[in-house]
Structure 1
Amino acid sequence: MAIVDDLINPRGTKRTCVVVLGGRGFLGRSLVTRLLQLGDWVVRVADSTHPLQLDTDSSHGDSVLRDALASGRASYCQVDVRDPSQVIKAVEGSSVVFYMEAADLPKHDFYDCYMIIVQGAKNVINACRECKVRQLIYNSSADIIFDGSRDICNRDESFPCHWKFADMLSDLKAQAEALVLYANNIGGLLTCALRPSNVFGPGDTQLVPFLVNLARSGWAKFIIGSGDNMSDFTYAENVTHAHICAAKALDSQMISVAGKAFFITNLEPMKFWEFVSLILEGLGYQRPSIKVPARIVCYALLVVKWMHEKLGSRKYNLDISARFFHLASCTRTFNCSAAQKYIGYSPVVSLEDGIRLTIESFSHLAKDSSFGNFEGQSKAEKLLGSGKVSDICLWRDEKKTFTCFVALVLLFYWFLLSGKTFASSTANLLLLVTTILYGYANLPPKISSFNIPKISLSWFEISENSVRDFIMSIVYLWNSGLHTIRSLAQGEDWNKFFQVVLFLYFVKWILVESFAVAIGFALVFAFTAFFVYEQYESEIDGLTRMLFSLTKGLLTSYLPASMTSFLQNKGVLRKENGKVVNEAAGR
């Protein structure tokens, strides 16, 4: 690759060629855009994506890059940092290398993460030495000094890294940072590292989408812990500005900057849950309001982790969930005075403006948007019919659900726990409703400054469509029952037979043991089980399959050979590789 350090701009001054490794990632795109807008550099964008794909609609950064590619002020190079020869080809002829986070990091695979982050850092360092690069600036993370067990309050760079980390990525980032800083001033290479805290902004692929997922699933209403923990956040453009400041400072204040790490924040610490509330409210979602002890959430995460390990499910990213738990329950604030003093950093975008710009950029994820639905209709919603019952049992509207739950609990107490007969309870309830309605009708139109609306007769009317739908539901249930009886009479559907037997046994248990206990259990079940199932659908399905497997083993082990043969002939059991399998369980 030709040396491009000697390219001359129209004013006759030299442009420096810089390489942005990870230039198509979240921060990489922002840095490339900023460098091109300043116009002082020729920028080589290097990333694993191939071929280069530019957004054609609303991405301002991609339009800037498109123009720069056309004018020759930018070029693109596909590179795998695990391949030393590709890295050398990417950095050859440059004088500054910005090493950003990879855009497609496989967070579930430790080996690949290690090869990309740690081995990748070794390859980049060796390539910079071989190609005589002057500066290497590494984008690290403030997470590397956080072990997840204690608060960090206004800590500066003198706070030691204990090599005990809250998650795998922080561990690997710490190793890569140590390699970069240790390589300083060896072979003429000057290095430094920046540690931004809680980066967010347009194009964010982690924090904001994760919060929206929480809001859509109903979990964002909970506050972990007291909700008073403070955090430092950093707008993406401020991080890229800090990288450019570090590159310039390595030339002017080499002794104070080279081989050092610097914390980067917006210099405006705020309550973590206030930040979450501003983001969610800006996108039309409800603010978190229900406080849950952090210890309970910790135990729940441990149970979920155990289920993932047993069932081998990877639907949810546990690393991100654990990281969010630590962020949401601990204080993490950092002292950026060293960055201000030595590299001349100060935020160019305030936290308030950063939050506003981020909300505007994620308008496609706003509530009731036709875009950004991460998952289709859940199984729980399908089971409940996707109507009003589904919205209530799945806590789509917390106020409506809570009102229905309280009303049903009161009716449960009134009819089953009060000690009265059903007839007397009904009579007392009608008497109470009559008294309330009569008293309400005699209230004055206005009490103090409150207007008292009158009850319209339409409140008590039942529409013809509602009656028709009710009758059709009864007819449907009756016909379904007849169909079930017909199937049992023909003796062909053993799966249906077992379902009916289990249902009748359950009804028998209710009538014999305690009707009140059964109703109470059903009430709690309706308002909790479907909601929990929707959140952990894959884990519960996997556990169910595991229980069916155990049932199949017990069934084939203890049944007589004649019974096994009979069920096999009837299609209840089948053979697989010489083993008898329960057909009903596999359906």
Structure 2
Amino acid sequence: MATFRILVTGGSGFLGRAVIKALNEKHPTWTIDALDIHPPDEDIRQIIDQFFQIDIRSEASVKAAFSNYHPDLVVHTAGIVTSRELRYSTKDSDWQRVKAINYDGTVHILNATLAAGCTRFVYTSSVTAIIDDLDHDYHNMHEDTTPTGLATLHYGRSKGLAEAFVLSPSNAQRGLKACALRPCTVIGPDDTQVLSLLHDLIAKGETHFIIGDGHNLYDWVYISNAVDAHVLAIENLLPGGAGTAAGEAIFVTNHEPAYFWDFLAFVWAQFGHEPRVRVHVPVTLAVVVAWVLEVLTWVTGRRATLDRGSVKDGYRTHYASPEKAVRVLGYRPRVGLSEGVRRSCEAFKRRLEEERRGMLKGEEG
């Protein structure tokens, strides 16, 4: 039985830790290492062989970590995901921070990987490399025909640049066999961003409106399905695998595009919340209101929930074809979207209850 040494960057994060667990379960004879700026939890420490506590923005630190280290394949999940006020930021300082992690960090990791003699690389890109172009809809996206390079938001722009570097002809000429996976919005029990943002809207009383006609489709993916795609890509690129993923960018979704506003309502229903009325706000009006709120934010310094970026995200359509993921990787989601939402929300409710009990205990103390 073949055995390999796999390095997972971002091994302490939402996706990275899940990839480590899945690899350990499916391939218990493989050696798995992790790299992250933050130490992993104890459950991950028990699985991995080595841990590198590295800031990938530092080229020297990355080179030092790889100086006497020779993995068979690197899975690069490390990065910063922009959310809340950072999602639609136009500040150059925010762009420089995101670029330093998501693009420069990827360059550092990949160059060190090749210098260590490793030529197999799975890069966690993002669907935002396409859809962070807020001025267009993207219906049934295909990897080979949907244009890249149009994303303007910091996250998608940084992911697009990094993906282009990983899949560049110059790296292929260096012997690199790499693929770029493009997950859409990932939900799951350990998610700390998506569900918290949607749950906050209940407390804010901002669940009663729909921007536009509400017919815009949107892709989501459950965490274990995204992990399955990563494991399949790893197996594909390793010696003995088909190798068909090399040089490819591949969308990873739940194969169930859902109406954006219906999805939000389904999430809120898991918390016992049902908006008493749903008001359709014309897009033009929503844009004007968002512009006014942006001005007020600039004047007062207090961030509003709505801005022009979030308005555009609320009425656009973007979903991907599953064809390439099925054909190249054999990927099919095993957990349906509704079940994924249920599992995610149940875990989030437990987390809220733990936080409530912690606060009560603190007050009593």
Aligned to 2:362: none
Q: Is the 8 A contact 1:136 1:189 kept in 2?
A: yes
Residues 1:126 and 1:282: Cα distance change in structure 2 (over 3 Å)? same
Aligned to 1:177: 163
Mapping for residues 242-391 of structure 1, pairs under 5 Å: 242-251=229-238, 252-254=241-243, 256-287=244-275, 289-311=278-300, 313=301, 315=303, 324-364=310-350, 370=356
Residues 1:314 and 1:185: Cα distance change in structure 2 (over 3 Å)? farther
Q: Is the 8 A contact 1:235 1:351 kept in 2?
A: yes
Where structure 1 has 5 or more consecutive residues not aligned to the other structure, the ranges are: 1-12, 55-61, 374-587
Per-residue CA shift, 1:182-240, capped at 9, x if unaligned? 05423222111011112111122322111111111111222121112111211111111
Shift of 1:361: 0.9
Residues 1:354 and 1:85: Cα distance change in structure 2 (over 3 Å)? same
Aligned to 1:80: 55
Matched residues in 2 for 1:165 and 1:188: separation?
29
Aligned to 2:201: 214
Mapping for residues 131-530 of structure 1, pairs under 5 Å: 131-146=116-131, 147-182=133-168, 183-251=170-238, 252-254=241-243, 256-287=244-275, 289-311=278-300, 313=301, 315=303, 324-364=310-350, 370=356
Q: Is the 8 A contact 2:57 2:100 kept in 1?
A: yes
Residues 1:214 and 1:181: Cα distance change in structure 2 (over 3 Å)? same
Classify the secondary structure of the residue corresponding to 1:98.
strand
Aligned to 2:30: 41
Residues 1:210 and 1:217: Cα distance change in structure 2 (over 3 Å)? same
Q: Which structure is larger by alpha-carbon Rg, 1 or 2?
A: 1
Aligned to 2:363: none
Matched residues in 2 for 1:193 and 1:199: separation?
16
Per-residue CA shift, 1:125-182, capped at 9, x if unaligned? 2111100112111111112222222321111112333522252211111111111110
Shift of 1:310: 4.4
Matched residues in 1 for 2:174 and 2:340: separation?
40
Shift of 1:76: 1.8
Q: Is the 8 A contact 1:198 1:234 kept in 2?
A: yes
* Higher RCO structure (Cα 8 Å, ≥6 apart): 2
> Are 1:23 and 2:2 matched, yes or no?
no
Residues 1:322 and 1:140: Cα distance change in structure 2 (over 3 Å)? farther
> Are 1:93 and 2:78 matched, yes or no?
no
Q: Is the 8 A contact 1:167 1:323 kept in 2?
A: no
Matched residues in 2 for 1:248 and 1:196: separation?
18
Residues 1:213 and 1:190: Cα distance change in structure 2 (over 3 Å)? same
**Code of the aligned partner of 1:132:** G
The match for 1:117 among 102, 109, 117 is 102
Normalised by the length of structure 1, the TM-score is: 0.54
Shift of 1:277: 1.1
Residues 1:103 and 1:203: Cα distance change in structure 2 (over 3 Å)? farther
Q: Is the 8 A contact 2:7 2:71 kept in 1?
A: yes
Which stretches of structure 1, 4 residues or longer, exceed 6 Å deviation after superposition?
A: none
Q: Is the 8 A contact 1:132 1:188 kept in 2?
A: no
Shift of 1:322: 5.5
Per-residue CA shift, 1:387-439, capped at 9, x if unaligned? xxxxxxxxxxxxxxxxxxxxxxxxxxxxxxxxxxxxxxxxxxxxxxxxxxxxx
How well do the aligned residues superpose, as a CA RMSD in angstroms? 2.7
Matched residues in 1 for 2:231 and 2:266: separation?
29
Per-residue CA shift, 1:59-89, capped at 9, x if unaligned? xxx53x2432xxxx43321011111232234
Alignment length (residue pairs): 343
Per-residue CA shift, 1:6-50, capped at 9, x if unaligned? xxxxxxx4431111111122211211221222224211111111x
Residues 1:340 and 1:273: Cα distance change in structure 2 (over 3 Å)? same
Where structure 2 has 5 or more consecutive residues not aligned to the other structure, the ranges are: 360-365
Shift of 1:307: 3.4
Q: Greater shift after overlay, 104-113 or 202-211? A: 104-113
Matched residues in 2 for 1:162 and 1:53: separation?
34
Matched residues in 1 for 2:95 and 2:75: separation?
24
Matched residues in 1 for 2:328 and 2:72: separation?
21
Matched residues in 2 for 1:46 and 1:227: separation?
42
Q: Greater shift after overlay, 336-345 or 106-115? A: 106-115
**Code of the aligned partner of 2:46:** D
Classify the secondary structure of the residue corresponding to 1:116.
helix
- Identity, in percent, stands at 28
Residues 1:364 and 1:302: Cα distance change in structure 2 (over 3 Å)? farther
Matched residues in 2 for 1:156 and 1:104: separation?
24
Residues 1:40 and 1:154: Cα distance change in structure 2 (over 3 Å)? farther
